[in-house]
Structure 1
Amino acid sequence: MTDPELAAARARAAAARDQLRAVIREVEARLRPASLASDAIESIKRKSGEVAVDAVEAVRERPIAASAIVAGIGALIGARLFHRKSKRPKSGRRKSRQGDAS
């Protein structure tokens, strides 16, 4: 190898090392917990926005079906609340247990 070839090879090696160091710094930055959390939050925001748009489109395409679903969910919630209230004692006091002296 001649001196110019050796100098060119050393220059290429130095450039490759610099490029590798830059890649390592970038990977380290991406793997920091704060960066990972930020990326995850951005991904969730983007996905939730897509889901919301899809939901709006579905309601626009099938308003009657969407209304029926909402009514059904409301009925289930109302039935659970009604059932929960009907199980409570009316006097406001707790029922005594059989082993308790009342």
Structure 2
Amino acid sequence: MIPGQRTETSALVTGIREGADAAGTPADAARKHLAEKKTRYRITEPGRDLTPVRTSAAGGAETVRLQQKHCGVAVLGGQYVVRMENKGGKRVVTAPPGSISPA
């Protein structure tokens, strides 16, 4: 994990493969993963503070981009990208919140 500058939120997390909820949408699975790892990502309420912006899926790979909001206002440069694999009814987070930077 690489910490962000002047923030407690991580800027980059690499090298993990963790199971995720395969039953819901990719965006739901991404927010649930972030909620379950609060000590790692330091997002108080991912369900409330992160709004899905775009989801792409191809060949079992899923990428979800989420916009962070504070009191309902979009945080400038506050986007999270969660990458997952979804194969055979199993979903795995492969590269969660990559960059916290403008899209």
Category of TM-score, reference length = shorter chain: under 0.3
Question: Larger strand proportion, structure 1 or 2?
Answer: 2
Q: What TM-score results when the alignment is normalised by the length of structure 2?
A: 0.17
Larger Rg: 1
Q: Greater RCO between the two (CA within 8 Å, min separation 6)?
A: 2
Question: Larger helix proportion, structure 1 or 2?
Answer: 1
